[in-house]
Amino acid sequence: MADENAKYQSPLTSRYASAEMAANFSNNTRFGTWRRLWVRLAQAEQQLGISGITDGALAEMSANVDNIDYKVAAEEEKRRRHDVMAHVHAFGIAAPQAAGIIHLGATSCFVTDNADLIIFRDAMDLLISKLVVVIDSLSQFARTHRALPTLGFTHFQPAQLTTVGKRATLWVQELLWDLRNMQRARDDLGFRGVKGTTGTQASFLSLFNGDDEKVEELDRLVAELSGFKGKSYPVCGQTYSRKVDVDFVSALSSFGATAHRIATDIRLLANLKEIEEPFERDQIGSSAMAYKRNPMRSERVCSLSRHLMVLIGDVLQTASVQWLERTLDDSANR
């Protein structure tokens, strides 16, 4: 077995991501979601009368959603130079009764884009739940210390008195705005749905012999099965519009600015000895000066926040270069 420590690993995952968030963006989740989408597509197609999709095929697909042979998929991708078709092949081996109907009528973005939207939605749910806890804790802190006087600063120069609790409400207010933005971005997420290769649904119209009502129903059914009832985007190119990513990441980058501001305030106050981060019993403040009380958690927040804040620039550039129905400009870096 290859030594995982012999190759680069992103610290965003290995050091800083929660177990839940790392799992949400894992290969198992991504490619398992692809398979679930293929199952839902086949179920809806069978329900609407497409012949050749047997109950046995659906059962076999459902039973093997998480039975992913990554070695087979990697070998097939190396040969075909196509990631989606490599996983279609691997799924067909795991569910041979369904090999001929997996991905029926669909384009690659049916799984790649729809899976991304599901993963983004679930990631935002995780983030919102944690942010609510932070807001509650800071609100309690503000109430507890609402009457504790402290020197206020403007331009980081001594100004009039304020209170510790009043200063904390500045942080809470901005986090509440971030919560609003995140919830709005999460609720605004739609589903690419079943739109075909260029968004015209032509392949599905052919599959249903020109019955556009069944094509629309197929789109509705798959969206509902995927947790996006009534929320399939009405039009798209080959991909869903990357303006969706702009709206979504804007909320995250804005939160990054808030987190950086709060952590910076804590670092300044730590220097003034007005507030300190927790210091564990066996913690070492510095390799040369073990007595130091460095605000390392706040420094870490600032570092990660800067990364979060600049992501919006990349997303804006991706949205701007989606020529006509789409390009692959975002293929490698999304």
Nearest 10 degrees: CA dihedral of 219, 80, 1, 8? Answer: -80
The residues, ordered by sequence, that sit 6+ positions from 242 with a Cβ below 8 Å of its Cβ are 315, 318, 319, 322, 330
**For residues 65 and 62, what is the distance between their CA atoms, to the nearest angstrom?**
5
58, 43 Cβ separation under 8 angstroms: yes
131, 175 Cβ separation under 8 angstroms: yes
List 26, 206, 286, 320, catalytic entry: 286
Q: Can 155 be counted among the known catalytic residues?
A: yes
| The three-state (H, E, C) secondary structure of 15-53, written as one string | HHCCHHHHHHCCHHHHHHHHHHHHHHHHHHHHHCCCCCC
Across-strand partners of 161? 151
Q: Can 82 be counted among the known catalytic residues?
A: no
Rounded to 10 deg, the angle between the 296-320 and 243-271 helix axes is 160
List 10, 51, 155, 287, catalytic entry: 155
Residue 89, number of CB atoms within 10 A of its CB:
19
For 151, the token pair is 């020197």
201, 208 Cβ separation under 8 angstroms: no
The residue behind tokens 């177990």 is 19
**For residues 112 and 34, what is the distance between their CA atoms, to the nearest angstrom?**
7
**E strand or H helix at 150, and its extent?**
strand 149-154
292, 285 Cβ separation under 8 angstroms: yes
Residue 166, number of CB atoms within 10 A of its CB:
17
Beta strand ranges found along 164-222 (DSSP E): none
Instruction: Please give the positions annotated as active site.
Output: 155, 286
